[in-house]
A and B are shown apart, each in its own frame.
Chain A
């Protein structure tokens, strides 16, 4: 799994690629902590994420909780077919705002 990040209109965009699971979820948590508590608006761009399991999803959920506790939010963008199915199977789609692309997700913070 690889993690990249950049800022767009005061929103931190975190790009994940590869597989997010119990093997590497700690890397996401470590990266996310670098932005806390200074930032509270995040978009997770999952366009290049091939797969994630419940531990990986749990990592994203813990980011959502941390952002919410800081009066912010985590929005999800660019879910691919397979990861979309994982969000559906695990009901995780119910707790995130999910967008087709990063721009829509960033715009939703306005």
Chain B
């Protein structure tokens, strides 16, 4: 908007009435709406109630001087321009210019001045202010839109933890610029069989994110409408058609498409210009990058004439019940340190191998990303996505463990407590241990849901629970995406006075009960994920 489109709204502050009168006279007929006051306190009141575009102020005033007035104004408005009109000249003693320059929206005009000089300065200052306001407004709208796009994108993705039939999957998904061009989807085809797509759209930001949204929807449609005998090459050819024909060769995507068959423990995948799977062979704990024979295809969308073909491009791998698979997009291996050295595939392989030995598989992506940052690789310029997939043998197997996941609401958390109790009874026939497990889980989940989730509750990330029971102890691990925990993790006997203290009713009573039941609590935080482990020693 041009300056002459509307009047300037101005506040003049001076303890000398004559100066204010002179100002009013000077700015008459110059398109200025002027309010006047004679103290800093009155000025603050007026500024709170009015939408001024500029303040003209004296520096020397009784009580609140011009600089004190500026400090108060900045509490309400960081950008409101202030023009000091003063007879003071800059000296080494008063540092006038330095004080004025300390604030970017402060200007200065020495009295006496020509009317035209003041009018020119006023117009320039207000023009700049209006223009900057407009820029900030656009930026804020853009920021809001990006935040919304980010939320929508997260809704399209699977939750960070998924337990479904015989599948356990966890996902770490971080955007370099609020929205990401990385794609991930796992879809159940039939009992024990799952289709997986992990992709990376070329480019970043909004454009890549829009492609991501379209592909995510397209893949779901393809799988849902296909029969059970889906072929990976068919899917890649259809995606290639989308990029080359529908989107007219404007972009491309590297990806891994895979079929996990947990009935026969076989994985088939095609890498279309994408890093292959890392597989941790259950019994040995060795981590290897799967790509025997260096098979693979070109990225999807490079050329419309290309025919993807399983016979030449698919890799087939047999695995154990305990094998763990990790898929990545290249953003993670491109994370670099301060010397510009990228993490690389081999270093990532070693970190994964190290992490799987002491971490719950579902937490490995979070653990590894945390370690990458800790060892100095913290320059992230691309979207980062890492997934973990493994077979869930479930509580009916010979294993004395149970995986559970719940929506973060109290009613669902209560159901988890019931499942936990049943499992402990089934595996141990120890009724008291079962009550302790159920009580502990309920108390801690209530804590997370009521106190821990905070702002991130909008995204309703699930809470993951892992139980393991042995002859000597019950281990209960709870993983949530809430705020960092700061509670006392030392076990302590319970005092019945907790029931007298009303302040504990809303926070603290549950943790006091938990601390009285356990022999040890361990708390870790990996990025934005809390891992809290409670160990209850079994009684003789």
Contacts and interface: CB of A to CB of B under 8 A. Distances in A.
Chain A contact residues: helix, strand, loop or mixed: helix
Nearest to B441: A53
A51 interface: yes
B431 interface: yes
Contact of A54 (B417, B495, B513): B513
Interface string A50-69: 01011101100110000000
B435 A85 contact: yes
Given A23-B410, A54-B513, A58-B505, A91 B496 contact: yes
B432 A85 contact: yes
Given A53-B446, A82-B435, A89 B410 contact: no
Chain B contact residues: helix, strand, loop or mixed: helix
B473 interface: no
A91 B432 contact: no
Contact of B513 (A62, A90, A94): A90
Interface in B482-540: 494-496, 498-500, 505, 509-510, 513, 516-517
Interface residues of A, number: 22
A89 B414 contact: no
Interface residues of B, number: 26
Contact of A89 (B417, B446, B498, B513): B513
Interface in A59-110: 61-62, 81-82, 85-86, 89-92, 94-95
B439 interface: yes
B502 to A, nearest CB: 8
A15 B432 CA distance: 24
A22 B446 contact: yes
A81 B411 CA distance: 23
Contacts of A90: 439, 494, 513
Given A19-B414, A23-B411, A91-B498, A53 B516 contact: no
A5 interface: no
Interface string B390-432: 0000000000000000000011001001000000000000011
B431 A82 contact: yes
Contacts of A55: 446, 510
Contacts of B450: 22
B478 to A, nearest CB: 15
B383 interface: no
A92 B499 contact: yes
Contacts of B498: 91
B311 to A, nearest CB: 56
Contacts of A95: 496, 499-500
A91 B498 CA distance: 9
A58 B501 CA distance: 10
B480 interface: no
Interface string A21-65: 111000000000000000000000000000101110110011000
A21 B442 contact: yes
18 contacts: A53-B510, A54-B439, A54-B510, A55-B446, A58-B499, A81-B431, A82-B435, A85-B431, A89-B435, A89-B436, A89-B439, A89-B513, A90-B439, A90-B513, A91-B495, A94-B496, A95-B496, A95-B499
